[in-house]
Structure 1
Amino acid sequence: MDWDKLRIFHAVASAGSLTHAGETLHLSQSAVSRQIRSLEESLSTTLFHRHARGLILTEQGELLFDATNSMAKKLDAANARIRDSEEEIFGELRVTTTIGFGTLWLAPRLAKLYEKYPDLKIDLMLEERVLDLPMREADVAIRMKEPSQADLVRKRLMDIRMRMYASPSYLEAHSTPETMSDLQNHRVICQNANSFQVNAGAQLIRQLQEEGVENFLTVNNYFGVLQGVIYDLGVGVLPDYLTRDFPDLVPVVPTALSREVPVFLAYPEELRHSRRVEVFRDFVQEEVIAYRKLKRAAESSNVA
Structure 2
Amino acid sequence: MNWDDVRIFLAVQRAGTLRGAAQFLKVDQTTVGRRLAGLEHCLGSRLFLRTTGGLVLTDAGRQVLETAEGMERMAVSFERLSEGKDKRVAGEVKVTTTDALAVDFVVPAIENLKAQYPEVKVLLNTSTRLLDLARREADIAVRTLRPEQPDLIVRQLGNWEVGLYASQRYLESHGEPQQGEGFKGHDIALYQQGVTVRQDDTLAGEPLGEGRVVAELDSSLLLATFVRAGLALGELPSYLAQRDPELVRVWPKRKRTNPYEAWMVLHQDLAHTARVRVVVEAIAEAFTSA
Tell me which interval the TM-score lies in, with the shorter structure as reference length: 0.7 to 0.9
Inter-CA distance 25–238: structure 2 relative to 1 (3 Å threshold): closer
Q: Deviations over 1:123-162 (max 9, x none)?
A: 3333455444334443222222332111221112121121
State the partner residue of 1:301.
none
Deviation at 1:268, TM superposition (A): 1.7
Matched, 1:287 2:286: yes
State the partner residue of 1:86.
87
Q: Relative contact order, CA 8 A, sep 6+: which one is greater? A: 2
CA distance in 2, matches of 1:197, 1:271: 28
* 1:216 alignment partner AA: V
CA distance in 2, matches of 1:54, 1:262: 37
Map residues 152-231 of structure 1 onto 2, 5 A cutoff.
Answer: 152-177=152-177, 179=179, 181=181, 183-192=183-192, 194-199=193-198, 201-202=199-200, 204-205=202-203, 207-209=205-207, 212-217=209-214, 218-231=216-229
State the partner residue of 2:267.
268
* 2:91 alignment partner AA: F
Deviation at 1:244, TM superposition (A): 4.2
* 1:154 alignment partner AA: V
Tell me the SS of whatever aligns to 2:261.
Answer: strand
Q: Deviations over 1:150-192 (max 9, x none)?
A: 1221112121121122222222333345756494342122225
State the partner residue of 1:297.
none
Retained in 2: the 8 A contact 1:145–1:263? yes
Matched, 1:123 2:126: no
Retained in 2: the 8 A contact 1:105–1:241? no
Deviation at 1:108, TM superposition (A): 4.9
State the partner residue of 1:36.
39
Larger helix percent: 1
**Among 3, 8, 33, which residue is 2:5 paired with?**
8
State the partner residue of 2:231.
233
* 1:89 alignment partner AA: A
Map residues 63-74 of structure 1 onto 2, 5 A cutoff.
Answer: 63-74=63-74
Moved more, 62-71 or 213-222: 62-71
Structure 2 gaps of 5+ residues are: none
State the partner residue of 1:300.
none
Retained in 1: the 8 A contact 2:205–2:255? no
Map residues 240-259 of structure 1 onto 2, 5 A cutoff.
Answer: 240-259=238-257
Structure 1 gaps of 5+ residues are: 292-304
CA distance in 1, matches of 2:145, 2:161: 13
State the partner residue of 2:133.
133
Aligned residues: 281
* 2:200 alignment partner AA: A
Tell me the SS of whatever aligns to 1:233.
Answer: coil
Supply the RMSD in Å over aligned alpha carbons. Answer: 3.8
Tell me the SS of whatever aligns to 1:273.
Answer: coil
Moved more, 134-143 or 278-287: 134-143
Inter-CA distance 290–204: structure 2 relative to 1 (3 Å threshold): farther
Inter-CA distance 253–82: structure 2 relative to 1 (3 Å threshold): same
CA distance in 2, matches of 1:52, 1:196: 28
Deviation at 1:74, TM superposition (A): 4.0
Q: Deviations over 1:44-98 (max 9, x none)?
A: x43344789986542222343443344345434533553463242312x232333
Tell me the SS of whatever aligns to 1:78.
Answer: helix
Inter-CA distance 262–203: structure 2 relative to 1 (3 Å threshold): farther
CA distance in 2, matches of 1:269, 1:61: 32
CA distance in 2, matches of 1:103, 1:231: 18
Q: Deviations over 1:190-228 (max 9, x none)?
A: 225x533142x4375383216x54222332322222222
CA distance in 2, matches of 1:279, 1:25: 34
Inter-CA distance 31–105: structure 2 relative to 1 (3 Å threshold): closer
Identity %: 23
Moved more, 233-242 or 52-61: 52-61
Inter-CA distance 9–140: structure 2 relative to 1 (3 Å threshold): closer
How high is the TM-score relative to the length of structure 2?
A: 0.76
Inter-CA distance 135–32: structure 2 relative to 1 (3 Å threshold): closer
State the partner residue of 1:302.
none
Deviation at 1:99, TM superposition (A): 4.1
Moved more, 58-67 or 144-153: 58-67
CA distance in 2, matches of 1:155, 1:9: 34
